[in-house]
Structure 1
Amino acid sequence: MQIFHTISETRAFVRQARARGRVIGLVPTMGYLHEGHLELMRRAKSQCDMVIASIFVNPTQFGPTEDFGRYPRDLERDAAMAESVGVAAIFNPPVEEMYPQGYCTYVDVERITDKLCGLSRPGHFRGVATVVTKLFNIVQPDYAYFGQKDAQQALVIKRMTADLNMDLEVVIVPTVREQDGLAMSSRNLYLEPEQRHAALVLSRGLERARKALREGERNPAEIRQLVIDMIQAEPLAEPDYVELYSYPGLEPLERIEGLTLLALAVKIGRTRLIDNAILEV
């Protein structure tokens, strides 16, 4: 496996692969890999001749009071994990390679970004859409892989690729969970043991919603309140949002019909965790 730190090196590698007729899969990450990332890479490996992973903690998607500075980084560890599942190359640029002096161009996806994480983290999806566009332009993959845990992000990327006529397929891979149900996330590293236990309230809240749906509840406001009550019953948990929208359109609902996204963000101490479920009637 090779590790590249510059755009020019990465493009040269891709050109050589293209000359050999390789189908290329891209797995964009911010590093500190876990089993969820590895599942994306395995899926890419199963569909593509060559897998490239990017490892880049993207400053433009972090707010001024968020955790950009303390976000976990360990390239040696990540490289060993990526190589173990067959990744051919890692693109790990420094910030100045992606955003050189004088940089002033950004990508905005409207409407579906004005709610959920887009509402509670202003500018977040502008940063996500911008860096993913740059990665797509650099690697020019045939397929790109994202996790369902970041449901809104996945929809933003799908909308962006369609609207901008990008010549690739975006593949969404189901959320990978710990044995006790907690969605895998690099930010789980921040949790103290007591907080780690408290974080299970996210997956329990989703299961409570599924149970209500099985029992016949179709009022999104009622299901939302059930989940909020469960979260607030956990002393270490503070809900940021609990919302239900149509899926994939993210339109407001009066009644749950068809596919519905239940998305939630919860603060456990200083750590903000997200999770979601797609409910189907």
Structure 2
Amino acid sequence: MMSCAPKSTAVLVLGLVVAWSVAQSAHAQSGSPMLHEYIAPQAAEDVKLESTNPSGQLPAAVRTPSGTITPPDTTTTPEPRRIYHEGSDRTPGFKPDRDTRRPEVEHYDDPFSPTLTPFKRMHAYDAVRPDYTLVVRDTQYRPITIGGTPRDGDDRFFGDMVVQLRAGDRVRIPSVGPGARLLELVSSPRTEVTVWRDGADNWFVYGDQSARVRLISHLAIAREAFASEFADVTWGSLPRVPVQPAAHSRAFRRVAKAIDISRTTMSPRDVVLKMVSYFRSFAPSK
């Protein structure tokens, strides 16, 4: 009786050879081998490795209480939602009026990520004139240092705004809050700019030439600036403030009597909380 094993083996080998030949032919027809394969960015991995974005000037990702955020794309030129152009001398103060009707709703531009709506800081005042005009007490400009590292307890943000520089003048720009720090700043097109703050911590950008530039920033600010409780301190531990006009003192005494607040029997925290509650109880007039 003859065995068929050798014949079966030959057929199997022949089949493998044909399959290998077909595979090689298909590979040859498909072109050159793949040298690079695109791998999508992984924000969590970028945070862990402290990677930078393609420009090398900003972190590729930042972890915040609102989640992991990534910087704006510095290689594109998106259409600006708003162009900041207000000069440093355009807003000497703010005078409140007696119109207590609900204001018209205006378009709100928020150039920060995570979003700060509606808390971005554009105009801040720290003094009151006798006619109740709000003003900046110290109008001297001081340079803001660019650099540094985040601290424990910080929140971090990316800013993306278009500014119309005015040669030899400072242009007002928004910030994320009092005491914010500017860790990195990228301009597009590349332009020499400096950033300044006044005594009330309003921010301004300065350039030697008039030009429209896109500014992308990386900022840090103490988290307690947004969500902390008012500290329960004593009156003596608070900084002294200049003597207020007599008319202001008389007006305050009337309000203090009406809502029953007293410096002698209440702490600063209790007084502030009661005044805030009183203010929030107001309703728009018809």
Q: How would you bin the TM-score normalised by the shorter chain? A: under 0.3
Q: Write 1 or 2 for the structure with the bigger share of helix.
A: 1
